[in-house]
Chain A
Amino acid sequence: MAVAMPPFETFYDTHKDEVLAFLQRRAGRERADDLFQDTFLRALRAYDRLEHGEHLRAWVLTIAGRLVIDGARRERPHGELVADPATEDGRPAYEELAPLTDGLPPKERAAVVLRYGYDLGYDEIGAALGSTEQAARQAASAGVRRLRKEQR
């Protein structure tokens, strides 16, 4: 049986600290505050259209991740390479993936980041993206193929 949608207060209270920490790592402390509010306002806007209360963590982190990427893209001239995508040890995998996947179509990018950056299962990714496990698997592998092609 599907998990019922919790009241927004419960959802917000459960995930707010993690979302802020995530945004601070990805976008820096200065931008994190604005993105925090944008993330939860976006979640609020879509909240009553969700069909069940599963995978809400993946869902809200996906919203936050997209806002970080959209913001970074606006600040950087299109197509310019990130100076040094190589990472020091201990940085979370999604930080390494974000700049690399910047050129992918949104759905493929989200699927690749959630799969290889967050280590989510395809069922969770499908739910987070509002599609199916099968579609998530296809999007992730299409994204990986495209990245390989671009590396050459």
Chain B
Amino acid sequence: MTPVPVTLDERFRAAAAGSGLLDVAFDVFEDTPVGPLLVGVTDHGVCRITFDPDPELELERLARLYGPRVLRSFRPAERLHRELDEYFAGRRRAFDLELDLRVAPEYHRRVLAELTRVEYGHTTTYGALAARTGNPRAARAVGTVMNRNPVPIVLPCHRVVGANGSLTGYGGGLDRKELLLRLEGAIL
């Protein structure tokens, strides 16, 4: 059987994205300094950035969270792609994107909102972030929120470190956290 020509395939994907019928449009950015990223975008905004994606697992997760109409289409993620490129090239210090955090629990949303105030090139600690969201003793809970951050890099959980200055942990692995902090000049 002849495979569907690329032009026809792309035309359908663009029409599907334009139809407003998709629950999630996803794309994979193959070449970034932190490896391949799978990104998901809904009508509300960017809902997902995954390091080192296993596409099959990831699509099933997106379908479970947002609905089964999950399709690869580059157009909805174009702006995110451009902003990430600029960020990795050192030409962008803040992202200007709508985010879709609807499926995150309320507490997570509150902590993630506070996280957006940690600026480029700076770090804070789990405890400090916990204090700013109402409970100084909730450092561990804040750690969990960081670990489950649905849109890492854009929501800068890499800027949250341990009280003693150690990097502590990162959902995408400590190497990536170190790379991002170095890129921003937060560590030497």
Contact = CB atoms under 8 A, between A and B. Distances in A.
Contacts, number: 66
Interface of B: 1-4, 8-9, 11-12, 15-16, 19, 21-23, 26, 56, 59-60, 62-63, 67-72
A69 B15 CA distance: 23
B16 A44 contact: yes
Contact of A9 (B8, B11, B71): B71
Given A33-B8, A44-B19, A9 B70 contact: yes
Given A12-B71, A41-B15, A36 B60 contact: no
Contact of A16 (B4, B16, B60): B4
Contacts of B68: 5-8, 47-48
A134 B62 CA distance: 36
B12 A40 contact: yes
Nearest to A22: B1
A7 B62 contact: yes
Contacts of B4: 16-17, 20, 36
A148 interface: no
Interface of A: 5-10, 12, 16-18, 20-21, 33, 36-37, 40-41, 44-45, 47-48
Contacts of A18: 1
Q: Is the interface of A mostly helix, strand, loop or mixed?
A: helix
A40 B16 contact: yes
Given A37-B11, A48-B68, A9 B19 contact: no
Contact of A36 (B8, B69, B72): B8
Nearest to B16: A44
A41 B15 CA distance: 8
A5 B64 CA distance: 10
Nearest to A18: B1
Given A40-B16, A41-B15, A21 B69 contact: no
B15 A37 contact: yes
